[in-house]
């Protein structure tokens, strides 16, 4: 399938770099004529090739219901400018109506999965569930193989994040509505 325009394709062998700095994500899901989005602070990359991720999704959520039915999901990385909507996405249920509409969150079509890409984010990972019933039931932990990865080319290029606009840096949820924004990047010599 074609790339969602105007996004930059990220090589799957570098997909882990989109999550490696630990951002809060929006989890998008869809099945049939239903779709949903929720926030998740507990997520991480797991492997390089094929790229894999993990995310905790509570059994009571509509997102979980849709993911279990479709076997697919999207992890989207919102910037600081979407912090209010990210908090709202994690604070209300999609069972009460379409959260994308309620949050005025536009979507882009994904290339490999049915779940939409929440527009305005800075990175997206399209994932297929790696079925692990025990850890899903016991820990609410879902593993996914990344089948497509995208990034805003103004924020990610040459295999690295760069945040020229503070309002677009990734966010990290603590609790009670408190977030941290990703700060300035720096490099150290690993030979010491």
H helix or E strand, kind and range, residue 151: strand 141-151
Q: In the CATH scheme, what is the homologous superfamily, with its name and number, of domain 8-181?
A: Electron Transport, Fmn-binding Protein; Chain A (2.30.110.10)
- Give me the pLDDT at residue 166, please: 66
The pLDDT assigned to 177 comes to 84
pLDDT tens per residue across span 70-103: 999 999 999 999 999 999 999 989 998 999 999 9
Domain limits, the chain: 8-181
Residue given tokens 């105007």 in the structure block: 6
Question: For residue 20, what pLDDT is reported?
Answer: 67
pLDDT at 131: 96
Q: What is the pLDDT of residue 161?
A: 85
The C-alpha atoms of residue 92 and residue 103 are separated, in whole angstroms, by 10
In 3D space, the residue among 7, 69, 8, 9 whose CA is nearest the CA of residue 36 turns out to be 69
The confidence score (pLDDT) of residue 97 equals 92
CA angle 27, 101, 10 (to 5 degrees): 40
Query: For residue 22, what pLDDT is reported?
Result: 80
For the chain, list residues with pLDDT below 50.
Answer: none
pTM: 0.87
Query: In this structure, how many other beta carbons lie within 10 angstroms of the beta carbon of residue 70?
Result: 18
């Amino acid at each position: 399938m074609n790339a969602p325009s105007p996004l930059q394709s990220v090589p799957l062998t570098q997909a882990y770099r989109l999550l490696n700095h630990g951002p809060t994500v929006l989890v998008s899901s869809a099945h049939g004529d239903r779709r949903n989005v929720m926030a998740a602070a507990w997520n991480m990359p797991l492997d390089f090739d094929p790229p894999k991720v993990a995310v905790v999704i509570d059994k009571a959520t509509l997102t979980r219901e849709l993911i279990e039915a479709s076997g697919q999901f999207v992890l989207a990385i919102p910037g600081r400018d979407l912090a209010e909507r990210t908090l709202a996405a994690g604070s209300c249920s999609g069972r009460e109506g379409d959260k994308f509409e309620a949050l005025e969150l536009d979507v882009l079509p994904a290339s490999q999965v049915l779940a939409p890409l929440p527009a305005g984010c800075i990175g997206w990972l399209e994932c297929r569930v790696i079925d692990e019933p025990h850890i899903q039931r016991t820990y609410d932990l879902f593993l996914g193989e990344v089948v497509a990865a995208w990034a805003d080319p103004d924020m990610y290029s040459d295999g690295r994040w760069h945040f020229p606009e503070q309002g677009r840096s990734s966010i990290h949820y603590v609790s009670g509505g408190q977030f941290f924004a990703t700060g300035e990047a720096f490099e150290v010599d690993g030979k010491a």
